[in-house]
Amino acid sequence: DAGVTQSPTHLIKTRGQQVTLRCSPKSGHDTVSWYQQALGQGPQFIFQYYEEEERQRGNFPDRFSGHQFPNYSSELNVNALLLGDSALYLCASSLRGLNEQYFGPGTRLTVT
Amino acid sequence: DQQVKQNSPSLSVQEGRISILNCDYTNSMFDYFLWYKKYPAEGPTFLISISSIKDKNEDGRFTVFLNKSAKHLSLHIVPSQPGDSAVYFCAASATTSGSARQLTFGSGTQLTVLP
């Protein structure tokens, strides 16, 4: 049973560029959430998708956007990258309405 | 404003002894709590959870206690094993309209179990 997968593992981008991160949920899960984890901090909620729509959003600017596909996989897009966007980006999947979320290994984004 | 706080950045415990990790929260709307364990270069792994209608939940060596009046929860690991060495995160969720569930995390506690 495949768990949550994310790609790429690592990414280096320059300020002002755009980036797309990808996530495939655990088999049987229909909900995907994205989190940003800065060094030494806990994950911070970006947004959650189910039924291909953004259902809840954390305190992140509109530069952060996402998409969910009919097969429940998801993308996180970040435009106009800032140095402060450097972080570990975690995808988590769950069943709609349940609190237990299962995380992927993350994508380490470095903005130079 | 940190709504979930883990005030101890680190904890060292001898193998075989009890590990107690603490977490405090400020948002009265939180009604579900979870603990995650994270090894370096991996995503957080779900350990155990508790609903606000309970005050204790047990799963093997892991027990979570919830004190709603004090807005405090703790994770007990008995007996502690070297493989338990990891960063432990406390997380909380509030039931809102609709089915969306956002987790709010603490900053984590690094547990080191000494052989």
Measured in angstroms, the CA of B18 and the nearest CA of chain A are apart by 24
pLDDT of B41 reads 85
Cα separation, B95 vs A57, in Å, equals 15
CATH topology of domain A5-111: Immunoglobulin-like (2.60.40)
Taking CA atoms, A33 is separated from A17, A27, A65, A96, B23, in Å, by 23, 15, 12, 11, 23
Better-predicted residue by pLDDT, A13 or B95: A13
- The tens digit of pLDDT for each residue in B62-80 reads 999 999 999 999 999 999 9
Residues in chain B: 115
Q: Do B100 and A98 touch (CB under 8 A)?
A: no
Among B39, B45, B99, B109, the residue to mutate for chain A (most A Cβ within 10 A):
B99
- The tens digit of pLDDT for each residue in A33-92 reads 999 999 989 999 999 999 999 999 999 999 999 999 999 999 999 999 999 999 999 999
* DSSP symbols for B10-70: EEEEETTS-EEEEEEE--TTEEEEEEEEE-TTS--EEEEEEETT-SEEEETTEEEEEETTT
Residue A89 tokens, joined: 């980006």
Domain ranges of chain A: 5-111
pLDDT of A2 reads 77
- The tens digit of pLDDT for each residue in B86-110 reads 999 999 999 876 777 899 999 999 9
Measured in angstroms, the CA of B110 and the nearest CA of chain A are apart by 10
CATH 2.60.40.10 is held by the domain B4-114:
yes
Residue A26 tokens, joined: 């655990």
Query: Can you tell me whether residue B79 is helix, strand or coil?
Result: coil
Q: Count of A–B CB contacts within 8 Å?
A: 73
Q: Does B93 touch chain A (CB under 8 A)?
A: yes
Measured in angstroms, the CA of A48 and the nearest CA of chain B are apart by 7
Q: Do B44 and A103 touch (CB under 8 A)?
A: yes
Cα separation, A24 vs A68, in Å, equals 10
